[in-house]
Amino acid sequence: MKVLTVRTQEPYEIHIGGGILTDLPEDLPRVLESRDLALVSDDTVRELIAEDLRRLLSEAGFRAEIFSFPPGEASKRMETVVELARAMVRAGFDRKSAVLAVGGGVTGDLAGFLASIYLRGVPYIQVPTTLLAQVDSSVGGKTGVDLPEGKNLLGTFYQPRRVYIDYGVLSTLPGEHFRNGLAEVVKYGASLSADLFSFLEREAERLFLYEPEVLEHVIYESCRLKAEVVSRDEREAGLRRVLNFGHTVGHALEAALNYELLHGMAVSVGMVAAARLSEALGVAEEPVAERVEALLSRLKLPTRLPSGVSPERVLAFLSADKKVWKGRLTMVLLRRIGEFVFYQDPSRKVILEVLEELCA
């Protein structure tokens, strides 16, 4: 097992290894005083993982109950948070209880937000079960829900007590959801680590064989890079915005499609757009778009806008993005692979031209 520390105001550890979920009953008392655990999960992960984890915890003397909701981004809304909170109240969970977020990114964001406001805040643990959540959303303490006007427009910064990443559970994922997480791994390599990007180029095919050493390396490096950024900028005052590479257009694309496209798939298209913009705006000091597109294609990720959505519609949703402040949009672009730059007020005309190039 590998251990990373996220050095936020209240530091916490990320534990990474195969089969480590069986260690939770022994390890949880080191970070939680409570033995009353509300496991929050979607209905799919409940059957695949959460029920087994609940039994494991119950046998170890914990009071563990599952509170679940329908899977998918459509559940990531305030109404779901209220429904879960009311169910927890009826079940007698008080401020001495703790929440375990067991699932993917939607579950982690939703359960973290719930924990941050339930009885003015109870501790929570992240148990990410998708690659996307393991390398990205479970680390850093950003929680939230969506509004019809955009993604993650309601939320809090609320750090977990610990993150348990068991890459053994990834074998339960449909292939599409595994690829969904690979997009975030590419994000870290493209914007922060040329070494990680080159590793992905060399080992792309081995990833799909679920080889433990390859999975552990990409998960560890992704978490290490994010932990370094979060430790220096816990509340996204500056540097942390680098984690938005590919997300500006990606979030707009998700909203334009009413969140019917997986997050990583949207970010994949967003990274292609950002790489092409880097060249079109003269930011890139060497070619970047071709390598980014080639790697995403090898990882079976989309590089073009889906049919049925217009460039103009995607551009319209950019104005509602959280990265717009006082009418000014800041995008993360590439100087070269592994080196980012913040670019303010990119030309909407150039963005539209790039999006038009990406029409399927």
Residue ranges per domain, the chain?
2-172, 175-211+237-357
Instruction: Measure the CA–CA gap between 240 and 234, rounded to whole angstroms.
Output: 7
Residue 247 a catalytic site member: yes
Tell me which of 65, 187, 244, 254 is the catalytic residue.
244
Contacts of 5 (CB under 8 A, 6+ apart): 11, 12, 13, 14, 227
Active site residue 120: yes
From the list 236, 279, 339, 353, the catalytic residue is 236
Average of per-residue pLDDT values in the chain:
93
In tens, the pLDDT along 49-85 reads 999 999 999 999 999 999 999 998 889 999 999 999 9
CA distance 35 to 208: 38
- Establish whether 240 is a catalytic residue: yes
Structure tokens that stand for 115 in this block: 């924990």
Q: Which CATH class is domain 175-211+237-357?
A: mainly alpha
Q: Which residues are annotated as a binding site for Zn(2+)?
A: 184, 247, 263
d(CA 131, CA 324): 28
Candidate list 179, 226, 276, 291, residue with the active-site label: 226
Active site residue 142: yes
| Listed range (8-17, 190-199, 316-325) with the worst mean pLDDT | 316-325
- Mean pLDDT, to the nearest integer, of 24-31? 96
Q: Is 244 a catalytic residue?
A: yes
Q: Is 276 a catalytic residue?
A: no
| Domain covering 2-172 in this structure, CATH number | 3.40.50.1970
Query: Can you tell me the mean pLDDT for 264-289?
Result: 97
Largest CA distance in the chain: 61
State the pLDDT confidence band at 94, using cuts at 50, 70 and 90. very high
